[in-house]
Amino acid sequence: MHIVILIVLLLALIFGPQWWAQYTFRRYAGNLPRIPGSGGELARHLLDRFEMPDVGVEQTDMGGDHYDPESRTVRLSPSNYTDHSITAVAVAAHEVGHAIQHHRKETKLALRHRLVKLAQSTQRLGAVAMLLLPVVMVVTRAPASGLIMAAIGLGSMAIGTLVHLVTLPVEIDASFSKALPILKAGDYIQPADEIAVHRVLRAAAMTYVAGSLASLLNLARWLAFLRRA
């Protein structure tokens, strides 16, 4: 019984933030006459206002809402690009917040970008190393070989975990140090909508919490396995 409760708690801890974020996005996704522009239009306006005319705004069906620092493009899902909803304008402002971070060369975003590149290059190598670890230990019967493979695999996972941990403050900054003050100071939202916008921006920042927790648990699981091996 205790194991079942623990499993349920772990699932809630990992998937709860993502479920809550999606629920929040849907809750405030209705078009409102009092919102004069779409998410895509607001993103373009804000980029021009903050002197980033070279940053593009695109509608995307893949990858979800995000800012691509490689191509310098804000990409929004179809509904957030075209709709006049609280979710659309809040998410658009959040992604513009990342463009502002990039434009200002803020260290946290730069560190995240470098770690993402490193994680992408090491992820496959780490996965192969962990899969081959038992085989190498049986075939070679040399503890050193197993330790090398384990170090490669754990190093790859540790970099991925670090990416998630660095991502969280970057997301929080984009929501609450960039998007929310911009929306309030520029009168892009009405006072009655501030609570809803705050919730959407919190959801946008917290979409990475589940990935962070899952990454940490996966790393801990492998560490526990290697200690028993």
Q: What is the mean pLDDT of residues 83-94?
A: 97
Residue 190 has pLDDT above 70, yes or no: yes
In this prediction, residue 84 carries a pLDDT of 97
- pLDDT tier for residue 180 given thresholds of 50, 70 and 90: very high
In this prediction, residue 142 carries a pLDDT of 55
Question: Which residues contact residue 13 at a Cβ distance below 8 angstroms, ignoring those fewer than 6 apart?
Answer: 213
Domain locations in the chain? 2-228
Alpha carbon 6 to its chain's center = 26
Residue 47 has pLDDT above 90, yes or no: yes
Would you state the torsion angle of the CA atoms of residues 200, 201, 207, 212, taken in this order, to the nearest 10 degrees?
-140
Q: Do 122 and 159 touch, CB atoms closer than 8 A?
A: yes
Active-site amino acid positions: 95
Residue 217 has pLDDT above 60, yes or no: yes
Residue 224 has pLDDT above 90, yes or no: no
Q: Do 176 and 201 touch, CB atoms closer than 8 A?
A: yes
Q: Where are the alpha helices (DSSP H) in the chain?
A: 2-27, 39-49, 78-82, 86-103, 107-140, 143-172, 180-185, 194-206, 209-228
- pLDDT tier for residue 16 given thresholds of 50, 70 and 90: confident
Q: What is the mean pLDDT of residues 17-34?
A: 91
Per the prediction, the chain carries an average pLDDT of: 81
Residue 194 has pLDDT above 60, yes or no: yes
Most confident of 121-135, 171-185, 210-224: 171-185
Q: What is the mean pLDDT of residues 117-143?
A: 61
Residue 226 burial by Cβ neighbours in a 10 Å radius (0-12, 13-18, 19+): middle
